[in-house]
Amino acid sequence: MNLRNIAIIAHVDHGKTTLVDKLLQQSGAFRENQRVAERVMDSNDLEKERGITILAKATSVVWKDTRINIVDTPGHADFGGEVERILNMVDGAIVLVDAAEGPMPQTKFVVSKALALGLRPIVAINKIDRPDGRPTEVINEVFDLFAALDATDDQLDFPILYGSGRDGWMAVSQEGPKDQGLAPLFDLVLEHVPPAKVEEGPFRMLGTILQADPFLGRIVTGRISSGSVKPNQTIKVLDREGKMIEQGRVSKILAFRGIERSPIELGEAGDIVSIAGLTKGTVADTFCALENDVPLPAQPIDPPTVTMSFIVNDSPLAGTEGDKVTSRVIRDRLFKEAEGNVTLKIEESTDKDSFFVSGRGELQLAILIETMRREGFELAVSRPRVVMKKDEATGELLEPIEEVVIDVDEEHSGVVVQKMSERRADMLEMRPSGGNRLRLVFNAPTRGLIGYQGELMTDTRGTAIMNRLFHAFEPYKGDIPGRRNGVLIANEPGEAVAYALWNLEDRGPMMIEPGWKVYQGMIVGEHTRENDLEVNVLKGKKLTNIRTTSKDEAVRLTPPIRMTLERSLAWIQDDELVEVTPKSIRLRKGVLDPNERKKVERAREAAAVG
């Protein structure tokens, strides 16, 4: 059968996964009466809840006797490591662009990788029915982007389709016809995307996606570049330098047929398949026949920019809500995660009770923590810190800089520019983006962006859209002011009492409710001043036998601040931790005992003076 391999690449929320839904429906991948969930490719719970794609996934459809393998890629820069490798598997790409928003930073990031590999993309302008759509200007912006990314003349001569993925139609003209569905897109893929490239020689395949299956064990997905493979065949695995990692037998070969993975008896060159049975081979390794000694070239992965400490939970409430609390199970889980996610780097500390986890951004690390707490883990995590580098030639300290694009209403642009300049950002561009909105482009240090998302939403009344992308390592920009307020710290263990919380309201907003368990050193609220304050949240009302009408009314409390995981990570300071359990997210001081805490502070001050 003829083969075509394509990736759908776009910025987050531009409609990739919805388009794949419609492609599957219109190609006949589902039965007439089959019940299909919306965004069928977003298989894990967090993807469904957040409406974002975290893991890249493959599917396949048959159109006019040609099998089209389609890879749905993530749109967030934090999960960009997935995208870089996927592009090695495909021979063409559909660049999906929102008719109103135009090309965004993540589009630029993925398209630059696709053009560098020599792919000739198809541009699809999606959401053409948006009232604020501006398709003609967006096409010009896409052309300018391709030109800025050094596209060849061949790549600049890209075919264009307009349509609506949600309504299931694409056409050469903005007006339609709409009655042909996605047939014009399928036909253009067959015509424009070259057939799968096949090399001469024995079996070779580059591992691209790694998954764990409870029955089959480790499953590695990739495209077979030469030869063929059968079940029970003995193959070997080479790393990027060509060193042999292991030799083993293929227990099963699975191919994508619609949304299901079905076992097949022969995997042939050009097809995208999954292989089970090997225990050590991972992403970027070459799976090949025994006589082969030359590995396939693998894309180098962009370096991690943010690191966090994952620490064994040592609070007084440890082990009361989760069942996975020891350093051994946390270590095993983190190393298992790092096997499948090549953008994560895990290092053990010398005391073996904490681990340094580095990744692309705080969203990627927050997703990992959220996944772990749902699996029953309890742990404490530190504030995200950026990964610094030293310039080998000059010895100068370098820090990661990101390109930040913020779309905001004109009335709020002043406060955004002010806040970004406080965070040591350099403005590159300010231009109108339609509908009384401005597009602001900055180069900003990653340090300054940690925790800015929530503040931006407050400043712009929820109307701004911020997108970020790793730009480069540049010289250190200097100090950036952090949180100005101190915290309210519980001074005794017990259960919080409404009367005590009510009396403390003038000291600052609370983060806990009556009846919540607290312990010494736990953060219960934000202080209105700069210093930290120890408070008693257990103190009940003194009872007497004299009744008065005024005092017996029920206490009315101001609702507490809801601290989500991402908000907590951004809010805490360097001497504070977030305690994460399957049921709760608590904030605490790193050192719980107040006397010990004072000693540590004095030692730190003395070191700073010295």
Strands 306-312, 354-359: pairing kind: antiparallel
Spatial separation of the C-alpha atoms in residues 17 and 11, rounded to whole Å: 11
The tokens describing 145, both together, are: 């982007």
Residue positions forming the annotated binding site: 13-18, 126-129
User: How far is residue 60's CA from residue 121's CA, in Å, rounded to a whole number?
Assistant: 19
The length of the chain is 610
Both tokens of 554, joined, read 């029920």
- Strands lying side by side in the sheet with 2-10: 57-63, 66-72, 2-10, 92-98, 122-126, 160-164, 169-171
Percent helix, percent strand, percent coil in the chain, to nearest 5: 25, 30, 45
- Torsion angles phi and psi, residue 501, rounded to 5: -65, -40
Q: Would you list the DSSP string of 198-252?
A: -BSSS-EEEEEEEEEETTTEEEEEEEEEESEE-TT-EEEEE-TTS-EEEEEE--E
State both tokens at 181: 């569905």
Q: Which residues pair with 63 in a beta bridge?
A: 66
Distances from the Cα of 386 to the Cα of 108, 342, 344, angstroms: 23, 18, 14
Is residue 376 classed as helix, strand or coil in its secondary structure?
coil
Distance of CA 330 to CAs 142, 148, 356, Å?
A: 45, 45, 12
Question: Residues comprising the binding site for GTP?
Answer: 13-18, 126-129
The pair phi, psi for residue 444, each rounded to 5°, is -130, 145
Q: Kindly report the CA angle at 285 between 281 and 289, in degrees rounded to 5?
A: 80
Beta-bridge partners for 403: 443, 469
CB contact at 8 A, 537 and 524: yes
Sequence-ordered list of residues with C-beta below 8 angstroms from that of 395, at least 6 positions apart, any chain: none
- Report the amino acid identity of residue 573: Q
Q: How many CB atoms lie within 10 A of CB 347?
A: 11
